[in-house]
Structure 1
Amino acid sequence: MKYVPLDHVATHFLRDFQPSRVASRNERDLLRLIWKSPGIERSDLTEPLDLTQQSLHRIVRQLHDRGMIVFSTSETRRPGPPSPELTLCKDWCLTLGISVNVGSIGLCLMGFGEPLENMEIPQEGSSLSVEMERIDTAVGELLARRGAERRDVLGVGLAVSGHRMLETAFNCPLPLAHWSLIDLAPLLGEQLGLPVWADNVARTAALAEAIFGVGRDVADFAYIAHLHGYGGGLVCGGMPFRGSFGNAGEYSVLFGRQDYDDRPALGLLLQHLRAKGRTDLTLKDLKNEALVDWDGVAEWVDRVAPAHNHAINAICAVFDPALIVLGGELPHSLAEMLIERTEFNNLPRHGVLRDVPRLAVGRVVDAPGAIGAALIPLFETVL
């Protein structure tokens, strides 16, 4: 039987039971507007939502009665009856984000759309059951820090490094082979006793950048996730674009076998630096901003620059974004080196060049995959 996360949402979060639903379409539109513009006055919601004043007041009252929004008195005096300012009640629900990367597992505890706390535990061993138990323990610790219980959690977003296969199964890099080709959401859901939605870690990192980072004011942008591997995500209209099979943004597919080892993937940089004598390095060590001064780093950047430019120009040709973000686990100093070596294929026609995207370094640097994953339950149910 197909796993449906909504079927496992706690009943006290539900608006309707048949079918299970946390919020109606109009309620979700209203909640998202309030989330994006905290403190917006109720009277300012009528026009963007295309609702009558009577309908708007009814929906607002129902959401307030459920404890989802709070009222405050407007400090600006305008002609006419007073209109309350609306904000989301951060305590109405919690969500959890869990990102499974090579070498680390990131966790994010989020209030109603607001990150509260991050945690990172090592990813080690080859037993899926043991790693899920360790995740379970870490979740318990995170909740205990806030004095919260599992019943306070609306849902969990699971972000996994790897190509998406069927349902919530992924084809992961070799160090994560024990996470591969298994329908993960029902397994983790049973372990945690909570509903689980799953996606690729690069796309959840792109979502975090869209909501909290440099992509916040850009409707369409591409995100390159420099992790153990090399992937990313496409954000279209402010939301991740997944494609027919859930793998839009898998930039590694651009490279054949002969070019695969020249991608700007941090796992390959790790191999390169180990060969240079830094045998004890881990992926976590590559977050060091000073690594650009290490022996062999500039040589590696020059080596992968053609692949970087190939990916940049492919993104421009196919997606035509306003912005390309270099993110993942990439330190800012290394990202700037790649940006400096970027060459756009932009031959002038009639003496005029076409517009090309701006390149920027990702702003969400601590657990971006986990932060984006914690947003998934909200976007699937209430926003």
Structure 2
Amino acid sequence: MKYVPLDHVAPHFLRDAQPLRVASRNERDLLRLIWKSPGIERSDLTEPLDLTQQSLHRIVGRLHDRGMLVLSPSESRRPGPPSPELSLCRDWCLTLGISVNVGSIGLCLMGFGEPLENMEIAQSGSSLALEMERIEAAVEDLLARRGAKRRDILGVGLAVAGHRMLETAFNCPLPLAHWSLIDLAPLLGEQLGLPVWADNVARTAALAEAIFGVGRDVADFAYIAHLHGYGGGLVSGGMPFRGSFGNAGEYSVLFGRQDYDDRPALSVLLRDLHARGRPDLTLKDLKNENLVEWDGVAEWVDRVTPAHNRTINAICAVFDPALIVLGGELPHSLARMLIERTEFNNLPRHGALRDVPRLAVAEVIDAPGAIGAALIPLFETVL
């Protein structure tokens, strides 16, 4: 039987109406607008939502009664009856984001649309059951920090490194082979007793960048995730574009097996540094901004620049975004080196060049995959 996360949402989060769901379409539109514009006055919502004043008042009242909205006196001095300012009640629910990468597992506890706590635990070994037990223990630790209970969690977003396969299974890099080709959402859902939505970690990182990073003011952008592997995500209209099979943004498919060692994948850099006398380095150590001074790093950047440029130009040709973000676990210093070496295929025609996207370094640095994953339950139910 197909796993449906909505079927596992706790009853106290559901509307007292049929069909059973967390919020209606009109309620979700209103909540998302308030989330993006906290403190907006109720009277300013009528036009963008295309609702009558009576309908708007009724919906706001219903959401306030459920504890989802905070109403505050307006500080504006406009003529007419005062209209309250609206914001989301951060304590109405919690969501949890979990990102599984080679070498690390990130966790993010989020209030109603606001990150609260991040945590990182080591990813090691080859037992899925043991790693899920360690994830559960970390979840309890996060909840204890906030004085919260598991029943306060609306849902969980799971982000996994690897190509998405059927349902919630992924084809992961070799060090994560024990996470591969298994329908993960029902397994983790049973472990935690919570509904679980799953996606690729690069796409959840792109979502985090869209909401909390440089993508806040750009509706269409591409995100390149430099992790153990080399992938990314596409954001269209402010939301992730996944494609028919859930793998839009898998930039590694641009390269044949003979070119794999020349991709800007951090596992390749790590292997090079091991061979140059740093055998104990891990991916986490590559976050050190001083690594640009290490022996072999500049040579690696020069070697992967052609592959970087191939990806940039493929993105321009197919997606035509306004912005391309270099992120994942790539240190800002290396990102800037790649940006400086970027060459667009932009031959002039009739003396004119076409517009090309701006390149930027990711702003969401700590646990972007987990932060984006924590947003998924909200976007699937209330926003």
TM-score, normalized by the shorter chain, greater than 0.5: yes
CA distance in 2, matches of 1:277, 1:351: 51
Distance 2:157 2:18 in 1: 24
* Residue aligning to 1:294: 294
SS in 2 for 1:21: coil
Corresponding residue for residue 113 of structure 2: 113
- Counterpart CA distance in 1 for 2:7 and 2:19 is 9
Map Cα deviations across residues 256-275 of structure 1 (whole Å, 9 max, x no partner): 11111100000110011111
Alpha-carbon distance in structure 1 between the residues aligned to 2:159 and 2:194: 15
Residue type matched to 2:335 in 1? A
**Aligned partners of 1:245, 1:17: CA distance in 2, in Å?**
34
Q: Secondary structure at the match of 1:273?
A: helix
User: Structure 1 residue 54 and structure 2 residue 61: aligned?
Assistant: no
What is the one-letter code of the residue matched to 1:355? Answer: D
Supply the AA of the counterpart residue of 1:9.
V
Matches within 5 A, 1:91-106: 91-106=91-106
Match of 1:320 in 2: 320
Please give the residue correspondences for 1:1-383 in structure 2 after superposition, counting only pairs within 5 Å: 1-15=1-15, 19-383=19-383
For the residue of structure 2 that corresponds to 1:98, the secondary structure is strand
Paired with 2:60 and 2:319, the residues of 1 have a C-alpha distance of 38
Rounded to whole Å, the distance in 1 between the matches of 2:200 and 2:176 is 13
Q: Paired residues, what number?
A: 383
- Maintained 8 Å contact 1:7/1:20: no
The CA deviation at 1:8 is: 0.4
Query: Following the alignment from structure 1 to structure 2, what is the Cα–Cα distance between the partners of residues 15 and 102?
Result: 39
Any idea what the Cα deviations from partners look like across 1:310-329, whole Å, max 9, x if unmatched?
00000000000000000000
* Secondary structure at the counterpart of residue 326 of structure 1: strand
Contact 1:221 1:324 in 2 (8 A): yes
- Please give the alpha-carbon distance, in whole angstroms, between the structure 2 residues aligned to 1:254 and 1:316: 14
Q: What amino acid maps onto 1:96 in structure 2? A: L
- Indicate conservation of the 8 Å contact 1:164/1:247, yes or no: yes
3-state secondary structure, aligned to 2:155: strand
Give the secondary structure class of the aligned counterpart of 2:217: coil
Q: Is the CA contact 1:16–1:22 (under 8 Å) kept in the aligned structure 2?
A: no
Q: Secondary structure at the match of 2:90?
A: coil
Q: CA deviation at 1:17?
A: 6.6
CA deviations over 1:247-286 (Å, ceiling 9, x no partner): 0000000001111110000011001111111111110100
Partner Cα distance (1:273, 1:27) in 2: 53
Please report how far the alpha carbon of residue 214 of structure 1 lies from its aligned counterpart in structure 2 after TM superposition: 0.5
Contact 1:6 1:20 in 2 (8 A): no
Amino acid at match of 2:251: Y
1:139 counterpart letter in structure 2: V
Give how far 1:381 is off: 0.1
Q: Report how far residue 100 of structure 1 moved.
A: 0.1
Distance across 1 between alignment mates of 2:88 and 2:61: 13
| Residue 19 (structure 1) shift | 3.9
Distance 1:45 1:28 in 2: 13
Letter of the 1:203 counterpart: R
Q: CA–CA distance in 2 between the matches of 1:123 and 1:54? A: 53
Structure 1, unmatched stretches of 5+, are: none
The Cα of 1:213 is off from its aligned counterpart by: 0.2
- Aligned equivalents of 1:304, 1:182: Cα separation in 2: 33
CA distance in structure 2 between the aligned counterparts of 1:190 and 1:28, rounded to whole angstroms: 28
Equivalent position amino acid for 1:130 in 2? L
SS in 2 for 1:216: helix
The CA deviation string for residues 98-135 of structure 1, in whole angstroms up to 9 with x for no partner, is: 00000000000000000000000000000000000000
The 3-state SS of whatever aligns with 2:351 is: coil
- Aligned equivalents of 2:174 and 2:285: distance in 1? 20
Q: Does the residue aligned with 2:95 lie in a helix, a strand or coil?
A: strand
Is the partner of 1:86 in helix, strand or coil?
Answer: strand
Q: Deviations over 1:141-160 (max 9, x none)?
A: 00011000011000000000
Deviation at residue 16 of structure 1 after TM alignment: 5.1
CA distance in 2, matches of 1:334, 1:16: 52
CA distance in 2, matches of 1:246, 1:17: 33
Q: Residues 90, 326 of structure 1: CA spacing in aligned structure 2 closer, same or farther, 3 A cutoff? A: same
Question: What CA distance in whole angstroms lies between the structure 1 residues aligned with 2:12 and 2:348?
Answer: 60
